[in-house]
Structure 1
Amino acid sequence: MIRVLVSGAAGRMGQEVLRAVHKTEGMELVGAVDLIKEDVDIGTLIGIGEIGIPLKNDLEEVIATVKPDVIVDFTNPDVVFNNVKLALKYGVRPVVGTTGMGRKELTEIEGLCQSAGVGCIVAPNFAIGALLMIKFATEAAKYLPHVEIIELHHDQKIDAPSGTAIKTAESIVQTRGDFRQGLATEIEKIPGARGGEFEGGIRIHSVRLPGYVAHQEVIFGGVGQTLTIRHDSISRESFMPGVVLAVQKVMYLDRFVYGLENILFE
């Protein structure tokens, strides 16, 4: 039985994780943390009736009290790095869906995992279809190296571009090598009109509007043709099979893994 604690439990993704863990055989929901609400029974929070587990706001206290095997973090970029370090300090395996950490933070987490011999999975996207999108886009870049990315999310998402867009661009750059696209000089009549520029000249465009959940288009251009690879998460339930898989897999890891595709496609 895998003992699971959920951080960011009162958020929309956190509540979906609570439901997924609660109904998954072989997993036990042992704690929930959120800075916004406290002492609400998490069963009431997700509409299944009281289950005797109150929502708390002190992560370290809950970790020390309930002694989870895994912490699933869907919080925000301001606190996620410290949450992961705290979990590793207590030998708890983090599964992280919060985006916004940079390479410096990820490198430090990798070192902490190596020192502690504790597994950790940081995944910009847990939707299986999104992982396939990245895989297909990386393959397409071998033949159509000119590419731009458009990612579309709900208007409550704080960071831009999304972690999925960055992960996609990183994978494409690894495939293309030293290739660089775009004009040497571009004139933007409105600053930022061409989107953010990633390595190799890849442009990433971020859309934030009500009604979206998580969506991405990877658009390739070639002589007389274009190719578009798109993924749409219609609801947050789309991420849950990947979250459950990550919780199961991290129990057998003694290292840091960035990207669920490194577990799914290995």
Structure 2
Amino acid sequence: MAINIILAGPRGRMGSEAVNMVLNEPDFKLVACIDRKHDGEQLTDIQGLPNKDVPIFKEIEECFQQVNADVFIDLTIPEVGYYHTKTAMENNIRPVVGTTGFTDEQIVELSQLAQTKKTGCIIAPNFAVGAVLMMKFSEMAAKYFSDVEIIEKHHDRKLDAPSGTAKKTAELIRNTREAKKQGHPDETETIRGARGAELDGMRIHSVRLPGLVAHQEVLFGSSGQTLSIKHDSLNRESFMEGIKLSVYKVMEMDELTYGLENIL
């Protein structure tokens, strides 16, 4: 039985890659797309996207009322991603969300809604399996290396900083590392922000440049040694296996899961 999918953000870099993935997966059926510029058109009408007759809606409520769907994939921006996710669950459609930038309060609210509606939801800061392993390995290493800095690098069109992956990595590290001030006790910044953001003494640095996709390195230091755990996504195809897995998994769930590592 096919899994009917609505996808938001088909013209984006991630969204267009996800459109192709959904269309090529035998168990998936793309039944509609959400796009703010092409209301009432078909997917085939958008230059650069597959020649398929898939209806496009601007208003998500109208789409959910007119189209029968099992899963909603959101790959948009933080400003609308939260609203999309909430609306999907209110309509008993299971969201798979790659949009980052949600606040902790929004995650809590969405978790409560998922429990109330008994509707599965997966929000993943990063759908690349290698990135998830990088985060988990960093959590393990933090037990033995208490001095750590995170350097994340993304394309210059990314809206949030630090990235959702960097925030999730820091949260996992906090599970095994006690808060600690790093660097020289009298350290000063001659240029404000030179040492990056700080979380429990950890430093997080965000780089935004054209030509990048998604990259992160977690640097650990201890007496006489350093440890570097690094992951690079060289193209957006690297995220598709994680999205595909999440679509299958969310069909079996009745609560919200934050982070791909929780379903691997």
For normalisation by structure 1, the TM-score amounts to 0.95
Q: Deviations over 1:129-182 (max 9, x none)?
A: 000100111111111111000000000000000000000000001111344534
* Structure 2 counterpart of 1:4: 5
* Structure 2 counterpart of 1:245: 245
* Structure 1 counterpart of 2:213: 213
1:25 has 2:58 as partner: no
Question: What CA distance in whole angstroms lies between the structure 1 residues aligned with 2:40 and 2:136?
Answer: 42
Question: What CA distance in whole angstroms lies between the structure 2 residues aligned with 1:159 and 1:48?
Answer: 26
Question: What CA distance in whole angstroms lies between the structure 2 residues aligned with 1:101 and 1:262?
Answer: 18
Q: How far is 1:56 from its partner?
A: 2.1
Counterpart secondary structure, 2:189: coil
Q: How far is 1:58 from its partner?
A: 1.1
8 Å contact kept, 2:179–2:201: no
8 Å contact kept, 2:89–2:117: yes
Counterpart secondary structure, 1:161: coil
1:125 has 2:126 as partner: yes
Counterpart secondary structure, 2:6: strand
Q: 1:121 to 1:46 in 2, by over 3 A?
A: farther
* Structure 2 counterpart of 1:166: 167
Over aligned residues, Cα RMSD in angstroms? 1.5
Q: Deviations over 1:91-134 (max 9, x none)?
A: 00011000000100000000000001001000000000000100
Q: 1:44 to 1:127 in 2, by over 3 A?
A: farther
* 1:65-144 alignment, distance < 5 Å: 65-144=66-145
8 Å contact kept, 1:10–1:37: no
8 Å contact kept, 2:16–2:49: no
Question: What CA distance in whole angstroms lies between the structure 2 residues aligned with 1:138 and 1:221?
Answer: 14
Q: Which amino acid aligns with 2:262?
A: N
1:13 has 2:23 as partner: no
Percent same amino acid among aligned pairs? 50
Q: Which amino acid aligns with 2:236?
A: R
Counterpart secondary structure, 2:31: strand
1:195 has 2:188 as partner: no
For normalisation by structure 2, the TM-score amounts to 0.95
Q: 1:52 to 1:132 in 2, by over 3 A?
A: same
Question: What CA distance in whole angstroms lies between the structure 2 residues aligned with 1:181 and 1:173?
Answer: 15
Q: 1:100 to 1:49 in 2, by over 3 A?
A: closer
8 Å contact kept, 1:38–1:57: yes
Q: 1:212 to 1:229 in 2, by over 3 A?
A: same
Q: How far is 1:225 from its partner?
A: 1.4
Question: What CA distance in whole angstroms lies between the structure 2 residues aligned with 1:192 and 1:98?
Answer: 26
Count of paired positions: 263
1:146 has 2:147 as partner: yes
* Structure 2 counterpart of 1:53: 54
Structure 1 unmatched runs, 5+: none
Question: What CA distance in whole angstroms lies between the structure 2 residues aligned with 1:220 and 1:110?
Answer: 33
Question: What CA distance in whole angstroms lies between the structure 1 residues aligned with 2:111 and 2:49?
Answer: 37
Counterpart secondary structure, 2:107: helix
Q: Which amino acid aligns with 2:261?
A: E
Q: Which amino acid aligns with 1:91?
A: N
Q: 1:16 to 1:196 in 2, by over 3 A?
A: same
Counterpart secondary structure, 1:112: helix
Q: Which amino acid aligns with 1:223?
A: S
8 Å contact kept, 1:215–1:231: yes
Structure 2 unmatched runs, 5+: none
Question: What CA distance in whole angstroms lies between the structure 2 residues aligned with 1:39 and 1:252?
Answer: 32
Counterpart secondary structure, 1:219: strand
